[in-house]
């Protein structure tokens, strides 16, 4: 039984690697751009997705922090959300030019119409869709979420999710983010992106 399970895992890994090579070839110079709420897994899953595709991994929030020499909470505190969003738009535009890569964006980035247009032009957008309870359990103990610094963060998260979901729904591909091994989510993304690309709709 153990040998059989091990063989299944090996076959699954080999299948994912082969699919990853196909997707990387189909992308050309485009990027896979992960969008979705804070806590959806864009960074953690994105790193593994990039490794599977043998592509660079880029994190928009990290790049913003590097450019400003401040953390995201510090930028919010010192300059406000509007300043952050303006910087975010510029950074994402720059990062999109360096493809192919896997790019993780901040939760609010996809709301900006100009940013969405740039992503559409230079990439395939993937919405990591997660339920409210999953999101809240992942983010409630983290101090680096300035939008949640309020008396009832779960209620705010619920409102934010309801407001953003219609925009996230404009993404090229939707993959459910759930409590599962990261490799399972990577496999879901690879399969969905390959289907999108081979259908010709992403060309």
Q: For the domain that residue 41 is a member of, what is the CATH number?
A: 3.40.50.300
Which residues are CB-neighbours of 154 under 8 A, at least 6 positions away?
A: 132, 136, 140
Residue 116 lies in a domain: yes
Helix, strand or coil, per DSSP, at residue 58: strand
pTM attached to this predicted model: 0.86
Percent of the chain scored above 70 by pLDDT? 87
Question: How many residues appear in the chain?
Answer: 203
Nearest to 71 by CA among 23, 143, 166, 162: 143
Average pLDDT along the chain = 86
- The whole-number pLDDT of residue 9 equals 58
pLDDT tens readout for residues 60-111:
989 998 988 888 888 888 988 888 888 899 999 999 998 799 999 999 999 9
DSSP assignment of 137-203, as one string? HHHTT-S--GGG-SS-HHHHHHHHHHHHHHHHTTSSEEEE--SS-HHHHHHHHHHHHHHHHHTTTT-
pLDDT at 55 over 90: yes
203 within domain boundaries: no
Tell me which residue range forms the domain holding 27: 2-198
pLDDT above 70 for 23: yes
| DSSP class per residue in 85-129 | HHHHHHHHHHHHTT-S-EEE--TTGGGSHHHHHHHHHHEEEEEEE
pLDDT for residue 190:
95
Residue 154 lies in a domain: yes
The domain tally of the chain equals: 1
Strand order in the sheet with 31-35: 57-59, 102-104, 31-35, 123-129, 173-176
Distance CA 34, CA 124 (A): 9
Q: Report the alpha-carbon distance of residue 98 to residue 63 in Å, rounded.
A: 13
Residue 179 in any domain: the answer is yes
Whether 123 maps to a domain, the answer reads yes
Task: Give the pLDDT score at 145.
Answer: 64
- pLDDT tens readout for residues 149-192: 677 888 888 999 999 999 999 999 999 988 777 788 999 999 99
User: How high is the pLDDT of residue 196?
Assistant: 93
177, part of any domain: yes
State mean pLDDT over 4-30. 77
CA distances 150 to 52, 84, 143, 156, 164, Å, are 38, 19, 12, 8, 19
pLDDT interval class at 6 (50, 70, 90): low
Q: Is residue 124 predicted with pLDDT exceeding 60?
A: yes
**Would you state the pLDDT for residue 202?**
42
Angle at 194 between CA 188 and CA 198, to 5 degrees: 150
Question: What pLDDT is attached to residue 1?
Answer: 52
pLDDT at 42: 92
Q: What is the pLDDT of residue 200?
A: 61
Query: What is the pLDDT at residue 203?
Result: 43
Cα separation, 60 vs 94, in Å, equals 10
30, 103 contact by CB (below 8 A): no
């Amino acid at each position: 039984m153990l040998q059989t399970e091990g063989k299944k895992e090996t076959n699954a890994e080999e299948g994912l690697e082969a699919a990853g090579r196909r997707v990387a070839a189909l992308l050309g110079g485009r990027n896979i751009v992960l969008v979705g709420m804070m806590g959806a897994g864009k960074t953690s899953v994105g790193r593994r997705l990039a490794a599977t595709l043998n592509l660079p991994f880029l994190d928009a929030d990290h790049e913003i922090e590097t450019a400003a020499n401040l953390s995201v909470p510090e930028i919010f505190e010192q300059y406000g959300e509007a300043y952050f969003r303006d910087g975010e738009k510029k950074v994402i535009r720059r990062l999109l030019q360096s493809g192919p890569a896997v790019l993780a964006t901040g939760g609010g980035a996809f709301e900006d119409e100009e940013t969405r247009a740039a992503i559409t032009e230079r990439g395939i957008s993937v919405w990591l869709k997660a339920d409210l309870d999953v999101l809240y359990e992942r983010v409630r103990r983290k101090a680096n979420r300035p939008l949640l610094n309020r008396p009832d963060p779960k209620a705010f998260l619920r409102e934010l999710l309801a407001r953003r979901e219609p925009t996230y729904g404009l993404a090229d591909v939707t993959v459910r983010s759930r409590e599962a091994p990261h490799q399972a989510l990577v496999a879901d993304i690879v399969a969905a992106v390959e289907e999108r690309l081979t259908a010709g709709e992403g060309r």
